[in-house]
Amino acid sequence: MKLESLLRRHTTLTNDDIKLLVSVENLLQSIANMTECDVFIDCLTKDHSVLVVAMAVPETAPSAYSSTVVGQYALAKDEPGVDLTFKTGMATRKMRGVTQEGNPVVQSVEPIYNQSRLIGVLIQEQRFQKSMESENVLGFDGLDQFIPQAEPASFAGYKDSLYLTKYIEEGLLIVDEKGRIRFCNQYAADIYRSFGFGEHLTGQSYRDFCLVNWDPSTSEKVTSQEVEISNKYFIIRHIHLNLERGGEAAVLIKDVTTEKEQERELAYKTLAMQEIHHRVKNNLQMVASILHLQGRRSRNTQTREALKKCELRIMSIAATHELLSKSGLNDVKIKRVLQSIRQNILNAVDPELELKIEIEGDDFELRSDKATNIALVVNEILQNSVKHAFVGRSHGKIKITIVCDQTICGLNICDDGCGYDVNQPHKDSLGISIVSSIISDKLHGQVQVDSDETGTRTAICWPIETTEETKI
């Protein structure tokens, strides 16, 4: 298939890009003959896959291929050098790869630019031979220049101590002012070998092995970049050893693939938790809606009141799950919980009562289970105030104060209603039982109620557990 036809069908390249690649294709056979290598042009497709669009095999030497691979895809796992050049825009040298026919090869890849845009890569391949493998990756020649004013004896000790670098869990390269690699520890050698580099690094030009864009003339002492190569993630730091001479640098390569995978796994779990909380919230709201409809149809006042209380209790639990579904975390801020409960109460209150509910004090985070329990408690207390504190009145006020110190958290809920005798049995025994049970059994806390003609004050408190509430 012709190059131009492939490019127009599978890529988004412009006419100028295609003309440039056609001109490169006209040189492929000559390059293949001169280098005695298989030569290719690869381009990115519309879905960012890598496609072989042109190929030439040498007429002067055996090819690694039995048939053409034009029109086939080049996978990142098989050709990491191609993948690296497309991601960094930089040339790669002598990286191992595997052909579409399964044969091991060594690749050198050069980017093809149209002005400042990367439009393809030129690949030179030759069969991989065992003799290409590096047997010795530790090189000490030329290291003297990196220890200015050092005495011979002290430098000898320094060189002797370099064996310790094989025990650090980072790759280390030392680059001289001419850009040559003077030292490579075992960890770095293993990293480059995993990319497919089969050449001895020491003595080679670092430019051919640099995994990121790096300017040796930069005035920054330390630069750090993150790069993805063949589905692995690395943080690469360049540390200038001598800013005056420019090129001298130590290169640290840290594999952070495990950390990235853990971050990705945590993100998946977070999304799953969000979805679970969202579904629980929807189911609870559906139940509350059914209770609401049932209450409207009932002609019995007591039944309607009981259904209304159940509806608000369910909505208080749903409010916590709604907050958790939005945050994606297992913790929620107490003020947001209280604000949701306040809104539910205000939506259900008699329109003839002008009610204000204020929330003030410290904010802190709660675990989801504890937030649900507190939501139920506050809902019961507010319902009780709305029903009994403001009888015969057109307005009322409830104030919720949040308190938290190093050992105890609590809520003070005060209304300016008519008050009641706390020693007399309460009509809403179920609501009181719910509050008492949750505070003692779930929160392991205490509740105290005071009431007189100026209003009712309910104080609840619970101890802070390890890794529990976090003050904002």
Q: Which residue from 53, 51, 44, 45 is spatially nearest to 21, judged by alpha carbons? A: 53
Q: Is the pLDDT confidence value at 247 over 70?
A: no
CA–CA distance from 471 to each of 319, 358, 359, 406 (Å)?
A: 21, 20, 16, 9
pLDDT at 138 over 70: no
Q: For residue range 450-463, what is the model confidence (pLDDT) as tens digits?
A: 999 899 999 999 99
Closest C-alpha to 153, from 144, 162, 163: 144
Q: Quick one: pLDDT at residue 198? A: 62
pLDDT at residue 134, rounded to an integer = 44
Question: Quick one: how far is CA 73 from the chain centroid?
Answer: 30
Reply yes or no on whether the pLDDT at 413 is more than 90. Answer: yes
**What is the DSSP code (8-state) at residue 367?**
E
Average pLDDT over residues 241-257: 78
Residue 263: per-residue pLDDT: 84
Q: What is the mean pLDDT of residues 176-200?
A: 81
pLDDT above 60 (res 379): yes
Give the pLDDT confidence score for residue 14 in this predicted structure. 93
Q: In which band, very low, low, confident or very high, does the pLDDT at 13 lie, cut at 50, 70 and 90?
A: very high
pLDDT score at 327: 64
pLDDT tens digits along 92-113 = 877 888 898 888 888 889 899 9
Residues 6+ apart with CB under 8 A from 196: 80, 81, 95, 96, 97, 106, 107
Give residue-wise pLDDT tens across range 295-349.
888 888 888 878 877 888 888 778 877 777 776 566 888 998 899 889 888 888 8
Element (H, E) at 6: helix 3-10
Q: Which residue has the tokens 């509430």?
A: 469
Query: What pLDDT is stored for residue 245 in this prediction?
Result: 59
347 contact partners, CB below 8 Å, separation of at least 6: none
On the CB side of 435, CA atoms within 13 Å amount to 22
229, 87 Cβ separation under 8 angstroms: yes
Answer with the residue of higher pLDDT: 228 or 402.
402
Lowest mean pLDDT among 31-35, 158-162, 256-260: 158-162
Task: Give me the chain's average pLDDT, please.
Answer: 81
The residue that leads in pLDDT, 219 or 228, is 228
For residues 144 and 162, is the Cβ–Cβ distance under 8 A?
no
**Structural domains of the chain sorted by starting position, each given as residue range(s) with its CATH number in brackets:** 3-127 (3.30.450.280), 163-257 (3.30.450.20), 331-471 (3.30.565.10)
- Residue 133, pLDDT > 60, answer no
Dihedrals phi, psi of 404, to nearest 5 degrees: -160, 130
Return the pLDDT at 437: 86
CB 359 within 8 A of CB 341: no
pLDDT reading at 159 higher than 80: no
pLDDT for 91 beyond 80: yes
